[in-house]
């Protein structure tokens, strides 16, 4: 019986190995990349979308996400097929029907535009809303009538409280630096008047405020003029000796007025001042960026909650990439003085009439009445054509979401015949760029249910007042922000997912936001069926986004991690696959395992190169190299196939904390070289994380050796209790002990729970079966745990990622340098044969040269510029003495010419073949028909070969941009990247051979050439054409040198 079991195991492993090789050489349809398919500004046609789909199928694209984009008409002139017109509906059906016929899966952006979820069908009552405050001071006793404020959508509540008996602000005299005028506007109490900073100011500005008598200052409020500005401010008080003492230094940032970063674009900046008495103050303004100024400058005896506008999400981080701690603030000193803090127990809840108005018999005394109601943020979906633009739907209420879904996705779905619906499989939500909201219908009830206390007495905090204490007011707004994030995840993402499921569709989502993202990126992505990141081809955008997507997928048990790939700005028609490979490979090391190409723009006519945009890489059928890009697509498919095997290996999980909003985590201490990581959140810790054999483990088997806490002093008791239980079960924890809860829930008992339990867990290095480190070098801690580096890379240009299953370990290794690298790579695998799987060619072979220890294997690698490959370990083996993993060729001969080169006359190339005595850059040719040529040209040459010298490869040297090779009439493939060579051994023969090499360049040279012609003689057209007669030509053609290289045949024996 044992023998039978052993034999069955061997057979199973053998079958698994065969399936892996088969899937690598001929990847399954599930590996086909996706593409964003933009229908730009009504420029669509039935013939165009049909040909687009056929072109996708031809190169191996398997999924297309249709985005109805309405762009700036100055960049993309609008076409004739208006959104939702009968012709648009006909074209939409044709696109989906054609996709169904060609086996292409269709996804549909869930609204016009790419961000986010809105349209003309969204009513103001269904739109994103925020809590607005309208107030009135009254003296009783008398009946007060407070009408419903204009513009309010829904009444929420009204409260009254005694008006504070604080000091009256004395009259001030203002003087300022030369050129700073209209100073009275700063203290007139009218935010509609403003004093602008002097134009071109380089020096510090000084504003002195001299008051008639001394008073106790407690807050500073600066209201910006409605013009973007950013500066560094310093507030000082004048001492008795005439010197000035600094009270606060701060950043004033109102540089981005877009409502995507807050529903109050020019919200005031409010700062707390430690109680200080004075009659003269000075405001220094430095490093001014922008042409703005101030509408109000108020130094007040009244205490205010610092940055309350930011804390309620009225004004958010101004640029695309908020760091992990952008929504954390310094602790505000508690104000002193009578009447500075409102008592929540003394707040009077005033009943509202059915129409939202208020009638109240005010008792004797002075009272402040604050009416709370919602207003629409006014945010619209974008970029969308006029027919598709409307309010963004409420992100915190799935009831409102249903109407939006039914009005667009549901309408498209219902318009299709049942047989065609099977192609429409995905609802798409791009990165969140639509700003914040902080209230919705039923918010007060949901708040009380979640936190166990009534929010109504705390609502005056939204107006900047301090209720209970500054600390408790901050905790209340922490609870608001956390609930906003929770509801955006569950009501919006979860709601959109569930609605998609009712149509048999799935939700695909990018789980972060560059502009005004109010959620928590992991939780937000966790509610979607599939998640995606993104990266740009130039620059470093993607360093946050891809790890965000990968972490969300890993911790929520999702197998695919997509990425919007090769997004770019400017440089129209310049890019080609060789220029994309470095960033694509880098994305794989960040956890991406499904490529989403950005972007295919539909081509409604035969005009070349056609409709374009000022962003993205031109993955469309009008691009010169598009059909040859199948070789690049095949590469991506093979990479995606292997990177979808098993589970991602990450030794460290970094807890992101509980604060919201949150778009990324922090790594303190940083991950050591040779290890990798995921981010993890509180929800997963509470509901999915366990400890098995000393490792933090998720239900699908993903595990981590160490969980690292962020440098924070706060943690809710339920999270700490769960961590304590898991550490006690054997987990290893690194980070500081929390000191209190960040929430007002259960206050103050929750703080005591946190403090008491933290004292136990952090009382020593051991807690139960687990270990706790307050601080320390992460590499040393991993060493203490006997966790070796997963990959020791012998050159800093090398990056890696690792997948593990029951039958194999797969390491992807990429050279991110433009120079060849030879270096040893040591991996945490032993006792198995390393194999080299080349995703460019689809070949696999054992590596004969390596050394092993009990725990590791070291393999000498040699990678050309930007080259990559997979180290696969799946079976036992032994090194082969005297053999090299990457041997030099044993012989070579150069194809020196002359070459016969045939251009396409229809593309303005020469009518007859041209002889090139030596290989020449087309852009340097004296014949303008060649210099200005864009398209394909075929090189032909005869050469002698001798297969007995070894396995023959054709090395093309330098190619701009792709080259498809035939030898003796046999099609052998397309060369598009280093090492720029192709195995020709199955076609080459002894003696004379014929080579045919079809080379494609980019559109740039033709566009430059046409710019030199009278407009009537030009044959090219694109709405995005930055090229002029003086523009620089792009090197083009087969540049060589071209050689036949012979290698020992044994080196390239199969892995079988």
> What are the pLDDT digits (tens) for 299-311?
999 999 999 999 9
The CA distances from residue 877 to 831, 843, 857, 887, in Å, are: 8, 19, 12, 20
CA within 13 Å, CB half, 595: 34
Confidence grade of residue 799 (pLDDT, cut at 50, 70, 90) = very high
Question: What's the pLDDT at 275?
Answer: 94
pTM above 0.75, yes or no: yes
Please write the tens of the pLDDT for every residue from 1028-1049: 999 999 999 999 999 999 999 8
pLDDT exceeds cutoff 90 at 837: yes
Q: What is the Cα–Cα distance from 92 to 84, expressed in whole angstroms?
A: 10
Confidence grade of residue 200 (pLDDT, cut at 50, 70, 90) = confident
pLDDT exceeds cutoff 90 at 1055: no
Bond into 882 cis (ω within 30): no
Question: What's the pLDDT at 115?
Answer: 93
Please write the tens of the pLDDT for every residue from 568-595: 999 999 999 999 999 999 999 999 999 9
Confidence grade of residue 9 (pLDDT, cut at 50, 70, 90) = very low
Query: Helix or strand or coil: residue 467?
Result: strand
Query: Helix or strand or coil: residue 937?
Result: strand
* Mean local confidence (pLDDT), 840-844: 98
The CA distances from residue 760 to 709, 724, 732, 770, 773, in Å, are: 17, 9, 15, 13, 13
Nearest CA to 695 out of 769, 637, 630 is that of: 769
Confidence grade of residue 796 (pLDDT, cut at 50, 70, 90) = very high
Residue 381 in contact with residue 110, Cβ under 8 Å?
Answer: no
Residues linked to residue 217 through DSSP beta bridges, in sequence order = 276
Question: What's the pLDDT at 11?
Answer: 44
Confidence grade of residue 889 (pLDDT, cut at 50, 70, 90) = very high
Strands (E), 828-950: 834-838, 843-846, 851-852, 857-863, 868-873, 891-894, 899-902, 914-916, 936-945
Confidence grade of residue 654 (pLDDT, cut at 50, 70, 90) = very high
Confidence grade of residue 21 (pLDDT, cut at 50, 70, 90) = very high
Based on its alpha-carbon atoms, the radius of gyration of the chain, rounded to whole angstroms, reads: 33
Residue 577 in contact with residue 587, Cβ under 8 Å?
Answer: no
Say how many Å lie between the first and final Cα of the chain, rounded.
Answer: 29
Q: What is the Cα–Cα distance from 204 to 950, expressed in whole angstroms?
A: 75
The CA distances from residue 695 to 547, 558, 702, in Å, are: 21, 20, 10
Share of the chain above pLDDT 70, in %: 98
The dihedral built from the CA positions of residue 873, 878, 881 and 883, taken in this order, carries a sign that is negative
Please write the tens of the pLDDT for every residue from 808-819: 999 999 999 999
pLDDT exceeds cutoff 70 at 821: yes
Q: What is the Cα–Cα distance from 41 to 847, expressed in whole angstroms?
A: 53
* Mean local confidence (pLDDT), 416-426: 97
Residues linked to residue 680 through DSSP beta bridges, in sequence order = 655
Q: Buried (b) or exposed (e) across 648-658, using 16+ Cβ within 10 A?
A: bbbbbbbbbbb
Question: What's the pLDDT at 15?
Answer: 72
Question: What's the pLDDT at 444?
Answer: 98
User: What's the CA angle centered on 260, arms 190 and 68, to 5 degrees?
Assistant: 140
Residue 202 in contact with residue 266, Cβ under 8 Å?
Answer: no
* Mean local confidence (pLDDT), 546-570: 98
Residue 1041 in contact with residue 916, Cβ under 8 Å?
Answer: no
Please write the tens of the pLDDT for every residue from 72-115: 999 999 999 999 999 999 999 999 999 999 999 999 999 999 99
pLDDT exceeds cutoff 60 at 896: yes
Q: What is the Cα–Cα distance from 109 to 65, expressed in whole angstroms?
A: 7
* Mean local confidence (pLDDT), 1016-1024: 97
pLDDT exceeds cutoff 70 at 14: no
Question: What's the pLDDT at 803?
Answer: 99
Query: Helix or strand or coil: residue 2?
Result: helix
The CA distances from residue 241 to 175, 185, 213, 238, in Å, are: 20, 30, 17, 8
pLDDT exceeds cutoff 80 at 911: yes
Q: Are strands 293-300 and 205-224 parallel, antiparallel or unpaired?
A: antiparallel
| φ/ψ bin of 115: left (φ > 0), alpha (ψ from -120 to 50), beta (otherwise) | beta
Strands (E), 101-171: 105-109, 129-146, 154-162
What's the chain's average pLDDT? 97
pLDDT exceeds cutoff 90 at 17: no
888 Cβ partners below 8 Å, 6+ apart?
A: none
In DSSP notation, 205-249 reads: EEEEEEEEEEEEEEEEEEEEPSS-EEEEEEEEEE-TTS-EEEEEE
Question: What's the pLDDT at 1053?
Answer: 62
Question: What's the pLDDT at 166?
Answer: 64
- DSSP annotation of 572 reads T
Nearest CA to 465 out of 600, 581, 370, 602 is that of: 370
- The number of residues in the chain equals 1056
Confidence grade of residue 1054 (pLDDT, cut at 50, 70, 90) = low
Please write the tens of the pLDDT for every residue from 683-709: 999 999 999 999 999 999 999 999 999
**CB atoms inside a 10 Å sphere around CB 100:** 20
Helix (H) / strand (E) containing 56:
helix 46-59
* Mean local confidence (pLDDT), 720-730: 99
Higher pLDDT: 169 or 1004? It is: 1004
* Mean local confidence (pLDDT), 427-442: 98
Q: What is the Cα–Cα distance from 874 to 805, expressed in whole angstroms?
A: 10
Share of the chain above pLDDT 90, in %: 95
Nearest CA to 315 out of 273, 365, 377, 376 is that of: 377
Q: What is the Cα–Cα distance from 139 to 364, expressed in whole angstroms?
A: 7
Torsion of CA 1008, 1014, 1015, 1017, to 10 degrees: -90
pLDDT exceeds cutoff 50 at 7: no
* Mean local confidence (pLDDT), 248-264: 97
Residue 348 sits at φ, ψ, to 5 deg, of -95, 120
Long-range (24+ apart) CB contacts under 8 A made by 169-172 are 169/211, 169/215, 169/298, 169/299, 169/300, 169/301, 170/211, 170/212, 170/213, 170/215, 170/279, 171/211, 171/212, 172/209, 172/210, 172/211, 172/212
pLDDT exceeds cutoff 60 at 469: yes
What is the SS3 string spanning 722-762? HHHHHHHCCCEEECCCCCECCCCCCCCHHHHHHHHHHHHHC
Q: Which domains does the chain have, with CATH numbers?
A: 32-123+379-438+487-625 (3.20.20.80), 172-337 (2.60.120.260), 649-756 (3.40.50), 791-873 (2.60.40.1180), 891-1052 (2.60.120.260)
Question: What's the pLDDT at 1051?
Answer: 73
Strands (E), 322-421: 348-349, 358-376
Residue 169 in contact with residue 187, Cβ under 8 Å?
Answer: no
């Amino acid at each position: 019986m044992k023998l039978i079991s052993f034999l069955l195991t061997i057979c199973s492993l053998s079958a698994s190995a065969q399936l892996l090789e088969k899937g690598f050489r001929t990847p399954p349809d599930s590996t086909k990349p996706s593409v964003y398919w933009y229908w730009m500004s009504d420029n669509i046609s039935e013939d165009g979308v049909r040909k687009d789909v056929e072109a996708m199928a031809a190169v191996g694209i398997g999924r297309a996400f249709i985005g109805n984009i309405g762009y700036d008409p100055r960049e993309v002139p609008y076409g004739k097929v208006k959104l939702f017109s009968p012709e648009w509906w006909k074209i939409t059906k044709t696109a989906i029907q054609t996709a169904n016929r060609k086996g292409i899966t269709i996804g549909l952006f869930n609204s016009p535009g790419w961000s986010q979820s809105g349209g003309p069908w969204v009513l103001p009552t269904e739109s994103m809303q925020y809590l607005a405050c309208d107030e009135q001071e009254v003296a009783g006793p008398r009946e007060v009538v407070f009408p419903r404020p204009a513009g309010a959508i829904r009444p929420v509540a009204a409260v009254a409280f005694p008006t504070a008996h604080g000091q009256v602000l004395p009259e001030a005299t203002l003087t300022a630096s030369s050129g700073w005028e209209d100073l009275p506007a700063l203290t007139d109490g009218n935010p509609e008047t403003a004093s602008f900073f002097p134009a071109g100011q380089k020096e510090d500005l000084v504003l002195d405020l001299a008051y008639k008598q001394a008073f106790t200052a407690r807050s500073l409020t600066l209201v910006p003029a409605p013009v973007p500005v950013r500066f560094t401010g310093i507030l000082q008080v004048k001492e008795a000796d005439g010197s000035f003492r600094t009270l606060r230094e701060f950043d004033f940032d109102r540089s981005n007025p877009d409502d995507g970063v807050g529903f109050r674009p020019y919200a005031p900046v409010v700062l707390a001042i430690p109680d200080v008495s004075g009659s003269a103050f000075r405001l220094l303004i430095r490093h001014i960026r922008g042409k703005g100024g101030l509408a109000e400058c108020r130094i007040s005896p009244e205490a205010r909650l610092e940055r309350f506008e930011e804390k309620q999400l009225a004004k958010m981080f101004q640029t695309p990439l908020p760091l992990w701690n952008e929504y954390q603030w310094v602790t505000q000193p508690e104000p002193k003085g009578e009447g500075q803090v409102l008592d929540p127990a003394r707040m009077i809840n005033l009943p509202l009439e059915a129409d939202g108005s208020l009638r109240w018999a005010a008792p004797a005394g002075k009272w402040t009445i604050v009416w709370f109601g919602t207003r629409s943020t006014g945010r619209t979906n974008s970029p969308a054509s006029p027919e598709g633009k409307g309010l963004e739907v409420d992100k915190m209420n799935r009831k409102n979401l249903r109407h939006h879904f039914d009005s667009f996705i549901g309408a498209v779905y219902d318009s299709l015949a049942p047989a065609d619906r099977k192609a429409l499989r995905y609802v798409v939500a791009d990165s969140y760029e639509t700003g914040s909201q902080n209230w919705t219908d039923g918010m007060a009830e949901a708040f009380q249910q979640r936190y166990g206390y009534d929010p109504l007495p705390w609502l005056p905090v939204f107006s900047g007042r301090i209720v209970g204490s500054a600390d408790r007011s901050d905790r209340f707004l922490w609870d608001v922000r956390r609930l906003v994030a929770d509801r955006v995840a569950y009501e919006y993402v979860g709601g959109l997912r569930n609605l998609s499921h009712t149509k048999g569709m799935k939700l695909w989502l990018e789980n972060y936001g560059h502009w005004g993202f109010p959620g928590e990126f992991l939780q937000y992505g966790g509610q979607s069926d599939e998640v995606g990141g993104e990266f740009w081809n130039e620059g470093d955008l993607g360093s946050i986004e891809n790890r965000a997507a990968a972490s969300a997928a890993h911790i929520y048990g999702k197998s695919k991690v997509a990425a919007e790939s090769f997004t770019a700005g400017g440089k129209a028609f310049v890019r080609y696959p060789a220029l994309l490979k470095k960033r694509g490979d880098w994305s794989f090391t960040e956890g991406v395992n499904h490529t989403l190409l950005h972007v295919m723009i539909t081509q409604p006519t035969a005009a070349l190169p056609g409709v374009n945009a000022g962003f993205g890489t031109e993955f469309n059928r009008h691009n010169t190299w598009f059909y040859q890009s199948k070789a690049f697509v095949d590469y991506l498919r093979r990479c995606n196939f292997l990177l979808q095997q098993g589970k991602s290996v990450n030794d460290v999980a970094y807890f992101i904390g509980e604060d919201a909003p949150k778009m990324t985590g922090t790594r303190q201490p940083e991950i050591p070289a040779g290890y990798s990581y995921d981010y993890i959140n509180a929800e997963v810790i509470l509901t999915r994380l366990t400890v098995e054999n000393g490792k933090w483990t998720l239900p699908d088997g993903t595990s981590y050796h160490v969980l690292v806490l962020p440098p924070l002093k706060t943690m809710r008791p339920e999270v700490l209790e769960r961590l304590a239980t898991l550490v006690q079960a054997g987990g290893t924890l690194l980070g500081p002990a929390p000191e209190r809860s960040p929430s007002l829930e259960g206050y103050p008992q929750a703080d005591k729970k946190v403090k008491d339990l933290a004292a136990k867990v952090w009382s020593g290095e051991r807690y139960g079966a687990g270990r706790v480190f307050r601080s320390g070098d992460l590499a040393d801690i991993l060493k203490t745990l006997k966790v070796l580096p997963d990959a020791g890379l012998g050159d800093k240009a090398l990056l890696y990622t690792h997948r593990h299953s029951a039958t194999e370990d797969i390491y992807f290794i990429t050279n991110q340098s433009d120079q060849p690298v030879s270096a040893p790579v040591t991996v945490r695998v032993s006792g198995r044969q390393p194999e080299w799987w080349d995703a460019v060619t689809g070949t696999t072979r054992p590596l004969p040269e390596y050394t092993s220890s009990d725990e590791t294997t070291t393999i000498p690698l040699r990678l050309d510029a930007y080259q990559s490959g997979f180290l696969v370990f799946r079976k036992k083996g032994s090194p082969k003495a005297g053999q090299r993993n990457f041997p030099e060729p044993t012989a070579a001969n150069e194809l020196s010419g002359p070459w016969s080169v045939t251009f396409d006359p229809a593309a303005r190339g020469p009518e007859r073949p041209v002889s090139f005595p030596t290989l020449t850059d087309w852009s340097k040719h004296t014949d303008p028909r060649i210099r200005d040529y864009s398209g394909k040209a075929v090189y032909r040459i005869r050469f002698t070969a001798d297969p007995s010298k070894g396995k023959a490869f054709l090395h093309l040297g330098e190619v701009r941009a792709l080259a498809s090779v035939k030898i003796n009439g046999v099609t052998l493939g397309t060369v598009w990247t280093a090492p720029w060579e192709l195995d020709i051994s199955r076609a080459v023969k002894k003696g004379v051979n014929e080579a045919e090499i079809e080379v494609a360049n980019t559109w740039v040279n033709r566009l430059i050439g046409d710019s030199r012609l009278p407009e009537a003689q030009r044959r090219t057209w694109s709405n995005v054409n930055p090229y002029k007669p003086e523009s620089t030509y792009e090197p083009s053609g087969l540049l060589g040198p071209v050689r036949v290289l012979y290698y020992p045949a044994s080196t390239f024996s199969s892995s079988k």
